[in-house]
Chains A and B, each alone.
Chain A
Amino acid sequence: GAVVSQHPSRVICKSGTSVKIECRSLDFQATTMFWYRQFPKQSLMLMATSNEGSKATYEQGVEKDKFLINHASLTLSTLTVTSAHPEDSSFYICSASRAGDYYEQYFGPGTRLTVT
Chain B
Amino acid sequence: GENVEQHPSTLSVQEGDSAVIKCTYSDSASNYFPWYKQELGKRPQLIIDIRSNVGEKKDQRIAVTLNKTAKHFSLHITETQPEDSAVYFCAASMLSGGYNKLIFGAGTRLAVHP
Is A97 touching B41 in the complex (CB atoms < 8 A)?
no
What chain A residues lie within 8 Å of B102 (beta carbons)?
34, 46, 105
- Restricting to A17-45, which residues have a CB under 8 Å from any CB of B? 32, 34, 42-45
Interface secondary structure of A, over-half rule: strand
* Interface positions of A (Cβ within 8 A of B): 32, 34, 42-46, 49, 51, 57, 91, 93, 97, 102-105, 107-110, 112
Is A46 touching B103 in the complex (CB atoms < 8 A)?
yes
- Tally A-B pairs: CB < 8 A: 49
* 17 A-B interface contacts by CB (under 8 A): A42-B106, A43-B89, A43-B104, A44-B104, A46-B102, A46-B103, A49-B99, A49-B101, A93-B43, A103-B34, A103-B49, A104-B46, A107-B45, A108-B43, A109-B42, A109-B43, A110-B42
Residue from the list A57, A93, A103 in contact with B32, Cβ < 8 A: A103
Q: Taking A103-B100, A104-B49 as given, write out 5 further A-B residue pairs in contact, using a Cβ cutoff of 8 Å, ordered by the A residue number.
A: A34-B101, A44-B89, A44-B104, A97-B100, A109-B43
What chain A residues lie within 8 Å of B89 (beta carbons)?
43-44
* B93 interface contact, C-beta 8 A: yes
Complex interface bits, B11-52 against A, C-beta within 8 A gives 1, otherwise 0: 000000000000000000000101000000111111001010
How many Å lie between the Cα of A109 and that of B104 in the bound state? 18
Is B34 touching A43 in the complex (CB atoms < 8 A)?
no
> Given that A43-B105, A44-B89 are contacting pairs, would A32 and B51 also be in contact in the complex, using a CB cutoff of 8 Å?
no
What chain B residues lie within 8 Å of A43 (beta carbons)?
89, 104-107
- Restricting to B66-114, which residues have a CB under 8 Å from any CB of A? 89, 93, 97, 99-107
What chain A residues lie within 8 Å of B100 (beta carbons)?
97, 102-103
How many Å lie between the Cα of A38 and that of B46 in the bound state? 17
How many Å lie between the Cα of A46 and that of B92 in the bound state? 13
Closest chain B CB from A9 CB (angstroms): 10
